[in-house]
Amino acid sequence: MPRLLCLALLLGLVGCGQSDPPAPTSEAPASNVPTWAADAVFYQLFPERFRNGDTSNDPTWASLETPVEGRVPDTWAVSPWTGDWYARATWETTRGDDFYEDGVFDRRYGGDLQGVIDKLDYLADLGINTIYFNPVFYARSLHKYDGNTFHHVDPHFGPDPEGDFALMATETSDPATWHMTAADQLFFDMVGEAHARGIRIVIDGVWNHTGRDFFAFENLRELQAESPYAEWYIVETYDDPATEENEFTYEGWWGFDTLPVFADTEDGNDLHPGPKKYIFDATARWMDPNGDGDPSDGIDGWRLDVANEVPVPFWTDWNAHVRSVNPEAYTITEIWEEAGDFIREGGFSATMNYHGFAYPVKGFLVDGTLSPSAFAEDLNTRREHYPEPVQQALQNLVDSHDTDRIASMIVNAGRFEYEAPDRFDYDWGGRVSPRGGLDYDVRAPNDAERDLQKLVALMQMTYVGAPMIYYGTEAGMWGADDPDDRKPMVWDDLTYDAECADPLGRERACDAVAFDADLYSFYQEVIALRNDNPALRRGEFEVLLADDERDILAFARSMEDAQHIVVFNRSDETHSVRVDKPSAGAYSLTFTTADEPTRVEDDESGLMLELPARAGVVISRGDES
C-alpha cells in the first residue's frame, strides 16, 4: 500500500451552510453511516505543522525519536516556521549532504493544539465542518503513527509537557490509573470550541502496531517473559541474561523494529484480548471523556490506519463498541483499493476514496490521459461497489499526507510512463518525489495549473461523496510526497522566505511563498456552493455529456425540484457546447471557476455554453434554501 511505503521510507532505514453537531440519538441508525456524513466537508491537518500557538511547549532535543550524538547533534533546534523548506540548518548539514536522509525527518516546527484553537475561526470561515486529525497520541515522531500511548495526547501539544509526563509515568493499562493530562484537557477544550462552531472532530486510530516506548512494550523490554504484557506482542526470542548480547527479537511492522506489532489470537481471527481491551477502553475515553453516557463532549469519529492489517472480527466488535458510545459516530478505513466487502463485514461507515475518486480524477482532470467517457464510466463502476448511504459518506480526497500535493501533482502531470492503468499513475512508485534522485519538479504551479486545481475542487464539491481538503491546499501550498507534503502551514499573518533551494542541488528559480488570498476565496465559494445546495450532497447523479474529442464532461445532481448541471472543460481551448436539459424549466449560471465571462443560453430543450479553457460551471434550476 502506498501509505505503508511512505511510512517505511520515512522511517528510513494522515462558516457557510454549517450547523451545530446533532445531539446523539438513542437508537443506532439503520446502517453504520451517521446522518451527518453526507453533509461533511473534511479538512485534514497535522497538528505539528498547522500552527504554533504556544512556543513554551515546543519539542526538545530529548523528545526526538533518536536524540543521540551523531544522529541528531545537540545543536538541534526547532526549525523556523517561515524558512525556505529546502534550506538546511547547520545541525542538518553536519550530518551529511542528502536533504532527505540527513535531517528533514528530525525537524520539528512546534505546532500544537493551541494553534488549532486559534485558527478554528479560519476553518469555520472556509466552510469546512469536520476536521480529520492525523494522530494526536503521544509519540516521538512527527507523524505519530508510532504511538507510545493511545489514551493520551502528546504532551508537547499541550501547555505542561513536564507535568503530563510525570502523570503518565504512574499509569498502567487499567483505566482506573489514567489521568486527564493538561494536553488531554486542552484537546477536549478544543473539541468543545469546534462543536460550538459546527465543526466535528475525527481522529486517527492506529490499532495494529505501537512505538517501542509504548508503555506495554517498554515493560516487556524490561521484564521480558515475566512482563504482564508479554503476550501483547509477537516475541520471537527473549534475551538471555547470561550473555552480553541482547537476543530479544520481535515482529516489527514491515520489518521495522521501531514499530512492534500487536499479536492476534491464536486462530488469527481477532486481536489478542489484552491490546483489544486496552483499545476499547481508550476508544471510550476519546468518545465520552467524562464517562457520563453523553458523548457530546467527545470526538465524532475515527479514521483507521492500515485497517486491513487487523482481523475483520476485531473491527466488527470495535465498530459495535464505538456505536454503543455514540450511534452517530463516523468510522472510516484507510483502504487504497475497492473496500465494499471490508466496510460491510467490519461495520465501518466508509473508506478514504482513493480507489473510487482520487485515481480517476487524477487520470481525467490532472493528467488528461483518461477520456471524459472513460472517466464517467469509471466513476459509475467504482461507486456501485457501495450502497447509496455509503456512497454519500465516502471521503473524496485527491491528496493527503501519503501523496504529493494536488498542486504538485498537476505541475508534474504526464511526466512519466504509466505502469498501473487502474490507478492512473496516482502515487505510483518513486515518481511522486525527488527523493531517490528522480527529476520531480518542486516549483510552484502557474496560472494554468491553478485552473486545473480549481476543476479538481469543483469535482470534489459536486460529486457523490464527502470531500476532504488537505491542510494548506486552499492557501496555495504545493509539495512533493512525504516529507515535502508536510511543510508548515502558510498563514496570512506571517512573512515567509522564498523557496530557492533545491533538494537535489538543481538550479531553480525562486518561488515566493505566501498565503494565496484569491485561491482561499475560491475555496470558500466552492465549499459554500456545496453547503448551500442539498442536491450536491444527497442528490441523484446522472452523466449528461461525455465529449472525448473536446475533453468536456457534464453531469446532473438532482433532488426533488432542485437540479444542478455541472460542466467541465478539461481542454486548453475555449469550446461552445450544447447540453440537453434533463428536465424542463429555467436554468441559470450559479458558479464558474473561470475569471473570464462564461456565456450560457437556455432554450426549451437544452443549454448552449461557451466555456473557457480549463474551466467548470454549475448551472442550476430550482430553489434550495
What does the block give as the cell for 39? 453533509
Tens digits of per-residue pLDDT, 240-252? 999 999 999 999 9
Cα(612)–Cα(552) distance, integer angstroms: 11
Using one digit for the tens of pLDDT, what is the confidence trace for 280-293? 999 999 999 999 99
- Tell me, what's the pLDDT at 272? 97
Task: Measure CA 191 to chain center.
Answer: 18
pLDDT tens-digit map of 206-240: 999 999 999 999 999 999 999 999 999 999 999 99
Q: CB–CB of 524/16 below 8 Å? A: yes
State the virtual CA torsion across 130, 81, 188, 335 in degrees, nearest 10: 40
Cα 214 from Cα 168, distance rounded (Å): 11
Q: What average pLDDT does this structure show over 305-316?
A: 96
Angle subtended at Cα 594 by Cα 591 and Cα 597, rounded to the nearest 5 degrees: 85
Lowest mean pLDDT among 53-62, 252-261, 430-439: 430-439
Asked if 103 contacts 92 with a C-beta cutoff of 8 angstroms, the reply is: yes
Which CA distances in Å does 280 have to 207, 214, 274, 398? 10, 17, 10, 31
pLDDT, position 416: 65
The model's confidence at residue 65, banded by pLDDT at 50, 70 and 90, is confident
Q: What pLDDT, on a 0 to 100 scale, did the predictor assign at position 584?
A: 86
Q: How far apart are CA 202 and CA 235, in angstroms?
A: 33
Give tens-digit pLDDT for 170-191: 998 999 999 999 999 999 999 9
**Lowest model confidence (mean pLDDT) among 172-186, 324-338, 422-436, 537-551:** 422-436
Classify 528 as helix, strand or coil.
Answer: helix
User: pLDDT of 374-399, one tens digit each?
Assistant: 999 999 999 999 999 999 999 999 99
For residue 100, CA distances in Å to 64, 96, 106, 328, 486 come to: 17, 10, 10, 42, 13
pLDDT for 598: 80
23 Cβ contact partners less than 8 Å away, ≥ 6 residues apart? 296
Share of the chain above pLDDT 90, in %: 85
pLDDT at 430: 74
DSSP strand E in 512-594: where? 540-547, 552-559, 562-569, 575-580, 588-592
* 456-499 residue pLDDT tens: 999 999 999 999 999 999 999 999 999 999 999 999 999 999 99
Q: What is the pLDDT of residue 424?
A: 72
C-alpha dihedral sign at 312, 318, 324, 330? negative
3 state DSSP class of 304: strand
What tens digit of pLDDT does each residue of 494-535 get?
Answer: 999 999 999 999 999 999 999 999 999 999 999 999 999 999
DSSP strands (E only) in 269-401:
301-304, 330-333, 350-351, 395-396
Task: Give me the pLDDT at residue 609, please.
Answer: 93
pLDDT tens digits, 567-616:
999 999 999 999 999 888 899 999 999 987 788 898 878 999 999 999 99
The confidence score (pLDDT) of residue 74 equals 87
pLDDT(142) > 70: yes
d(CA 157, CA 395): 27
> In 3D, which of 99, 126, 106, 133 has the Cα closest to residue 17?
126
Q: For residue 386, what pLDDT is reported?
A: 95
Residues 6+ apart with CB under 8 A from 41: 127, 128, 129, 130, 461, 466, 467, 468, 469, 527, 530, 531
Rg of the chain over CA atoms, in angstroms? 25
pTM for the whole structure = 0.94
DSSP character at residue 131 = E
Sheet hosting strand 615-621, strand order edge to edge: 540-547, 552-559, 562-569, 615-621, 588-592
Instruction: Tally Cβ neighbours within 10 Å of residue 363.
Output: 23
For position 69, what pLDDT does the model report? 58
What pLDDT does residue 260 have? Answer: 97
Q: Could you tell me which of 277, 268, 301 has the C-alpha nearest to residue 207?
A: 277
| Cβ-based burial of 604 (10 A; exposed 0-12, middle 13-18, buried ≥19) | exposed
- What is the pLDDT at residue 9? 34
CA separation for the pair 611, 599 (Å, rounded): 7
- Binned at pLDDT 50, 70 and 90, residue 438 comes out as confident
For residue 126, what is the DSSP state? H
Other Cβ atoms within 10 Å of 119 Cβ, number? 18
Q: Hunting for cell 453547503 — which residue is that?
A: 531
The grid coordinates of residue 211 equal 512505538
Domains in the chain: ranges and CATH? 2-207+271-523 (3.20.20.80), 539-621 (2.60.40.1180)
At 411, list the grid cell: 505541475
Average pLDDT of every residue of the chain: 92
**Once rounded to an integer, what is the mean pLDDT over residues 9-20?**
34
Average pLDDT, integer, range 137-142: 93
pLDDT at residue 28 above 80? Answer: no
Nearest Cα residue to 201 out of 101, 289, 70, 103: 289
Decide if pLDDT at 25 tops 60: no
Which helix or strand (DSSP H or E) is residue 142 part of? none
